[in-house]
Amino acid sequence: MSNINTLDKDIKVPKHRDIRSLPGFSWFSLGFFIYLYLPLFILVIFSFNSSISATVWESFSVAWYFKAFANDDIQRAAKNSMIIAVFATLFATIFATMAALAIGRSKKIKYKSVFTGVIILPLMIPEIVTAVATLTFFSAIGLSLGLGNIIIAHTVFCIPFAYMPIRARLQGMDEGLEVAAQDLYANKSDTLRLITLPLLAPGIFSGAMLAFIISIDDFIITLMVAEAGANTLPIYIYGIVRKGITPEINAVSTILLIISIIFVTLSYWIGKKR
């Protein structure tokens, strides 16, 4: 894949022949990113508002950040959200990758469409129904693992989100490379490790990202399944929305945003180094 790109970079293509750019697409994308970031921009700005309003600007202040740092409830909720999202993403992505490989590559498995159906099933159910159904089920079997309950529920509905991009990626991958590797006497696990997984990596990466986003943002299912002391950030925020968002929430969101940008930049940087 990368060799194609280096190839492209080296060849000078006459402008009218450059097929990589379609007229208007770059401007359109720019517009899209503005659309994507406009609400966030407003959010960050108002986190520095001195008044309690998240909508009417008064003057610059960082007081809300101190307040947010001093707020135990927010910190507990944020910690819970992070723990849940990390574990749910890990489990979901591992399960989804295994399943995608088995369904996409294994010759031994029958009823592949049935398994696919099962895996994308959580997508077909509206969240509120999943929430009530899961709660009923958990209480019927007496499952009480604290955060574990939420991690289980999140893992289940994150699997299809992780699965879809991985499967899409696998579908477009040339099986020839793997066959060639095996022809050259690479054993199965070496083929997997050295050929399939690296090629699959972008799919796994987008899958994991999706799963994480879904988990950290989930509200209704978490609200229903959560046990005492397991409040997450969305639940806390939903409560705050009721009285009107204060810049304290903007401050927390900005902090989360900065952490995510650091995290994302770091992974980008590590990926580049390799």
Window 81-100: residues binding other proteins (CB under 8 A): 83, 87, 90-91, 94-96, 98-99
> Is residue 256 within the footprint of other proteins (CB under 8 A)?
yes
Q: Which two tokens stand for residue 149?
A: 């309950």
- The answer to whether 173 and 201 are in contact (CB under 8 A) is no
Q: Check binding of 194 to other proteins (CB under 8 A).
A: no
# residues near other proteins by CB under 8 A: 141
Distance of alpha carbon 211 from alpha carbon 226, whole angstroms: 19
Residue with tokens 């609200």: 223
Q: Which stretch binds other proteins (CB under 8 A): 59-67, 176-184, 220-228?
A: 220-228
Residue 92: Cβ within 10 Å count: 27
Q: By CB under 8 A, tell whether 253 contacts other proteins.
A: yes
Taking a C-beta distance cutoff of 8 angstroms, is the pair 246, 54 a contact?
yes
Binding piece for other proteins, criterion CB under 8 A, among 57-65, 112-120, 175-183? 112-120
Cα–Cα distance for residue pair 125/157, rounded to 1 Å:
10
Check binding of 23 to other proteins (CB under 8 A): yes
Residue closer to other proteins (CB basis): 50 or 206: 206
Q: Map residues 117-146 to x or -, x wherever contact with other proteins holds by CB under 8 A.
A: xxxxxxxxxxxxxx-xxxxxxxx--x-xxx
Q: Which of 74, 181, 233, 251 binds other proteins (CB under 8 A)?
A: 233
Token pair recorded at residue 211: 């799963």
- Out of 34, 69, 73, 75, the residue judged to bind other proteins by CB under 8 A: 73
User: Within 10 A of 266 (CB to CB), how many other CB atoms are there?
Assistant: 10
Residue corresponding to tokens 């135990």? 72
Q: Does 173 bind other proteins (CB under 8 A)?
A: yes
Q: Which is nearer to other proteins, 62 or 124 (CB)?
A: 124
With contact defined as beta carbons under 8 Å apart, do 122 and 156 qualify?
yes
Instruction: Single out the segment in contact with other proteins by CB under 8 A; choices: 2-10, 58-66, 179-187.
Output: 2-10
Please state the closest distance from residue 152 (CB atom) to other proteins, in A: 6
* Contact flag: residue 35 with other proteins (CB under 8 A): yes
Q: Tell me how far apart the terminal alpha carbons of the chain are, to the nearest angstrom.
A: 15
Q: How far apart are CA 35 and CA 7, in angstroms?
A: 34
Q: Does 169 bind other proteins (CB under 8 A)?
A: yes
The residue within the footprint of other proteins, chosen from 68, 74, 147, 211 (CB under 8 A), is 147
- Contact indicator for 210, 159 with CB cutoff of 8 Å: no
